[in-house]
Amino acid sequence: MRTLIHLSLASVLLTLLTIGTGCSTLSGKTPLVFSADFEDGSLDAWQPTDAKAWRIEDANDGKLLALFKQSSYKPPVRSPVNINLIKDVFPGSFVLELKMQSTTPNYGHRDLCLFFGYQDPSHFYYVHIANKSDAHANSIFIVNGEPRVSIAKTRTEGTKWDDNWHSVRLVRNVESETIEVFFDDNPEPIMTAVDHHFKSGKIGVGSFDDTGQFDNIRIHAHEK
What is the structure's pLDDT at 17?
Answer: 39
pLDDT, tens digit, 9 for 90 and up, residues 22-31: 333 343 468 9
Is residue 80 classed as helix, strand or coil in its secondary structure?
coil
Work out the angle at residue 65's Cα, subtended by the Cα atoms of residues 69 and 98, and round it to the nearest 5 degrees.
120
Please write the tens of the pLDDT for every residue from 37-76: 999 999 999 999 999 999 999 987 899 999 999 999 999 9
The answer for residues whose C-beta is within 8 angstroms of residue 173's C-beta and 6 or more apart is 15, 18, 19, 93, 179
Q: Which long-range contacts (CB under 8 A, 24 or more apart) does 69-72 make?
A: 69/211, 70/209, 70/211
Helix extents (H) in the chain: 9-17
Please tell me what DSSP assigns to residue 134: B
Q: Which residues pair with 15 in a beta bridge?
A: none
Identify the weakest region by mean pLDDT among 15-29, 34-48, 68-82, 147-161.
15-29
**Contact (Cβ atoms closer than 8 angstroms) between residue 100 and residue 110:** no
The answer to whether the predicted template modeling score (pTM) of the entire model surpasses 0.85 is: yes
Residues 6+ apart with CB under 8 A from 122: 75, 76, 77, 143, 144, 145
9-223 folds as Jelly Rolls (2.60.120)
Q: Please give the radius of gyration of the chain, using alpha carbons only, rounded to the nearest integer.
A: 16
Mean pLDDT to the nearest integer, 8-23: 37
